[in-house]
Every structure is written in C-alpha cells, then in structure tokens.
Amino acid sequence: ADQARLELQNQLSAAAQEVELRQVFGQGKELKDGLDTSAASAKELAGQAGNPATTGPGLEKLSRQLAQLSSAVPQAPEGRAAKEQARLLASPVDVTSANLHPAHLYGRGMTPFFFSIALWVFGLVGYLVLRPYNPRAVDEGRPATATLAGWLPTALLGVLGALVLYAVVQLGLDLDAEHPWLLVALLVVAALSFVALAQFFRALLGSTGDLVLLVLLM
C-alpha cells in the first residue's frame, strides 16, 4: 500500500510539473508573437509618420530593438515536440544506491590498514629475537643456505601470526569477508614478503635496519 501511494504521488508530481512546463512554453510563444507584432507595427508607424526626419529615426531604432528582443526569446517547441520535452523534464528521477561491502563497525573499515601494520611490525620484531642469518654458514660458502635458514623460521611464525590475526578479527569484529580464502592467501603472502624485507635490512644494516623499517612503516 505504501509503495502504491508513493508511485501515485510521483505520477501526480510528474503530471503537475508537465502542466507547468507546458504553460511556460505557451507563455514564451505568446511573448515572442507579441514582440513580432510590436516590431511590425513600429516599422509600419515609421513609414507612415508625417515627418520622417524627426520621427522616423526614433521609430526605426525602436523597431530594431523590438526585433532584437524578439529574436532573443527562445523558440518554444510546438506540438508533439513540446509535449515530449515537457514529459521528459517532468519525469521524476530515481536514485538507487547499493553498498557492496558495508562496514557497520568502525573496526571493519580500518581492518586492511591494521593488518598491514601488524604484519610489518611482526617482521621487525621477529629479527629482534632471531638472527637474520648464520654467520658460520656464510663463512663456509653457503650464503643461500644461510639466508633460507634465517628466513624460514621467522616466515613460518609470520604466517602463524597472520592466521591468528585473521581469526581474532573474524571472531571479534565479525569481519565477514567477501572472499575469505583470498584474504587468507593475501595475508600469508604479505607476511612472507614483510619478513623477507625485514631480514634484508637487518642483514645489510644490522641494528640500523630496524630504524629503516620503522621509517618505512611511517
């Protein structure tokens, strides 16, 4: 019933607007016709004046001004075109909005931001506890093995931390991700990448690498 009443109100509003537009078009046409008649009368009066030297120039000027004013009035559409234009201008416009991923809680909207910060900080803190590589393995000529051995434990802890983080957000904030498995995969890839960057700066710059990681975090 409410929807039917709303549709009826929209139809009545559209009909009223169409009537007003048609009246405006009709008034514009009447104004143009009146100006054309005045211009023609002024020309005729200028030709019939007894003293053209005095009255003629003034009347001709008036005639030109009326003609300019008449040409400035927009031509109102006639017949079917007028009705169609009035109908289009009077038609109500419906706006439909849809939220594909509503965030009813403030924490939902900030989740991607805090995910990235948490994983980055985890990589930084991980190499405050663990060594980025084994110097003995490097001295023995096995840099690839030393790098992998230094990255793998921290990377596994980073993946575990990412999964725990997702579980906490999912259960605590009811994240309700559109594609949960893709989100988990993204968190795993981000954890592995951030741990690799943390290992690189820590191995290259030592304790100064921690400062660089903090600067990059900002």
User: In terms of domains, do 134 and 200 share one?
Assistant: yes
Please report which confidence band the pLDDT of residue 190 belongs to, taking 50, 70 and 90 as the band edges: very high
Residue 125 in domain: yes
Amino acid at 65: Q
User: In terms of domains, do 178 and 213 share one?
Assistant: yes
Percentage of the chain modeled with pLDDT above 70: 51
Question: Of 60 and 23, which is predicted with more confidence?
Answer: 60
DSSP label at 76?
Answer: P
- pLDDT beyond 70 at 206: yes
User: In terms of domains, do 37 and 138 share one?
Assistant: no
| Per-residue pLDDT tens over the stretch 46-89 | 555 555 554 556 556 556 655 665 555 555 555 556 566 666 66
User: In terms of domains, do 125 and 205 share one?
Assistant: yes
Residue 77 in domain: yes
Tell me which of 66, 90, 114 is where a domain ends: 90
User: In terms of domains, do 58 and 133 share one?
Assistant: no
Residue 101 in domain: no
Residue 7 in domain: no
Out of 44-53, 85-94, 109-118, pick the least confident.
44-53
**Cα separation, 152 vs 127, whole angstroms:** 12
- pLDDT confidence of residue 137: 72
Residue 96 in domain: no
Please report which confidence band the pLDDT of residue 115 belongs to, taking 50, 70 and 90 as the band edges: confident
Please report which confidence band the pLDDT of residue 111 belongs to, taking 50, 70 and 90 as the band edges: confident
- pLDDT beyond 80 at 14: no
Q: Which domain holds residue 56?
A: 13-90
Provide the 3-class DSSP secondary structure of residue 93. coil
Residue 129 in domain: yes
Please report which confidence band the pLDDT of residue 23 belongs to, taking 50, 70 and 90 as the band edges: low
Question: Of 60 and 173, which is predicted with more confidence?
Answer: 173
Out of 13-27, 114-128, 180-194, pick the least confident.
13-27
Residue 32 in domain: yes
Number of domains in the chain: 2
User: In terms of domains, do 84 and 111 share one?
Assistant: no
Residue 128 in domain: yes
- pLDDT beyond 70 at 44: no
**Cα separation, 132 vs 126, whole angstroms:** 9
User: In terms of domains, do 54 and 130 share one?
Assistant: no
Please list, in sequence order, all residues whose beta carbon lies within 8 angstroms of the beta carbon of residue 198, skipping any fewer than 6 positions away: 123, 124, 126, 127, 132, 154, 209, 213
Tell me which of 38, 64, 90 is where a domain ends: 90
